[in-house]
Amino acid sequence: MRAVEKRGLILNTDQKDSDGESMDAPPDIPKPLPGKPVRLLDQFRFYLRQNNYRYATEKTYVHWVVQYIRFYGKRHPDEMGPAEVEAFLNHLSVTRSCTDSTQRVALNSLACFYNKFRKRELGTLNLRFGRRFKRPPAVFSHDEALAIIEQLHDPIRLISQLMYGSGLRISETLRLRVKDLDFSMQQLIVREGKGKRDRVTVLPRGLEGRLNRQIALAASLHDQDRANGVGPVWMPYALGRKFPNAGYSLKWQFIFPGDKPAIDPQTGIVRRHHIHADRVRRAVRAALEAGRIHKHAGPHTFRHSFATRMLEQGYDIRTVQELLGHSDVSTTERYLHVMNRGGLGVISPLDRG
């Protein structure tokens, strides 16, 4: 990995993973594309962005197209068709024992690539889908959630408390900016959650003091960056061009800024992004081990636990659906199966007097 010096800052250049994605760059900033892409995958990315696909979806679709191409020894996709797609998807199920959901994501990726992007209909495929498992979500008890949080240190501790106290996804928490918190209304706004929808959820009153201290820390780093010539914070869409000075405003700064500035893969500008999600995942895994909590869990389990606590407290399921940002109430209903007690809420005969 090469080092780059810019305005007195020593920065590492982006390391690439096996799919050509940057491992050091912020994961939610799209990689730059040429104005007239020549490479096939760049053309596919260009098509997805033209049609307003989420960047997470873009990365997933490109990943499966790359896996498909590699499976056939890097043959050009135009030389292949339905028979090769069918064989690849059946390989995922039969040989690799992938789940039904993984296989369907791969199918959606290749269907988009061929049917929409290359304008070649795949038609009906004879697929053997893997088994579909309906597993109840892992949920922490209230005591378990507090015990895990107790093992953590700020800012990861505060991030986990927001996930548990507000029902946020890890990406939604890390993308919070100063302007998204409303202490007077005791609420926070999630910008572009899953499905590109904004939503409002509860802001725990007990976190107000520590959140203000975290904002003060972010402001201090922001002042330091401006003194060192670091560029403005990354702005979504074309807001950076429309309001060129907005990225220097405190209200647009991430509440949980990263430790060091990094090179924006889109523009080459040195700027400070938010903490990487992998840092939170590693810390929570370590806390689970330290607390001897042997559940198949991670940061997202705090969100599951929030939903379960809300239902246990008697809140209407539609209210919980709105707080979580679920488009379908059936997604929220699965938490009804894990609330109150295990085993669908029944009492074991051994526990009866």
CA-angle at 156, arms to 155 and 158, nearest 5°:
65
Residue 163 near residue 173, CB atoms below 8 Å: yes
Q: Which of 177, 273, 303, 304 is catalytic?
A: 303
What span, in angstroms and rounded, lies between the C-alpha atoms of 68 and 85? 8
| Distance of alpha carbon 6 from alpha carbon 259, whole angstroms | 17
Told to judge if 335 belongs to the known catalytic residues of this protein, a careful annotator would answer: yes
Round to whole Å and give the CA distance between 63 and 126: 23
Q: Measured on CA atoms in the order 301, 306, 311, 317, is the torsion positive or negative?
A: negative
194 catalytic residue (yes or no) = yes
75 catalytically annotated: no
Q: How far apart are alpha carbons 104 and 323 in whole angstroms? A: 28
Q: What burial letters (b/e) apply to 138-149, b meaning 16+ CB within 10 Å? A: ebbeeebbebbb
Of 110, 53, 116, 50, nearest to 82 by C-alpha is 110
Question: Of 54, 59, 120, 300, which is the active-site residue?
Answer: 300
Q: Name the catalytic one among 49, 118, 194, 337.
A: 194
Is 274 known to be catalytic? no
For 33-41, which contacts have Cβ atoms below 8 Å and span 24 or more sequence positions?
40/76, 40/77, 41/65, 41/66
Q: Which of 61, 68, 114, 335 is an active site residue?
A: 335
What letter would DSSP give residue 179? G
Active site residue 326: yes
Q: Three-class SS of residue 81?
A: coil
The whole-angstrom separation of Cα 143 and Cα 125 is 49
Contacts of 127 (CB under 8 A, 6+ apart): 86, 89, 90, 93, 103, 107
The pair of three-digit structure tokens given for residue 184, joined into one six-digit string: 């007077």
Catalytic residue among 169, 199, 222, 304: 169
| 303 included as an active-site residue | yes
**Residues carrying an active site annotation:** 169, 194, 300, 303, 326, 335
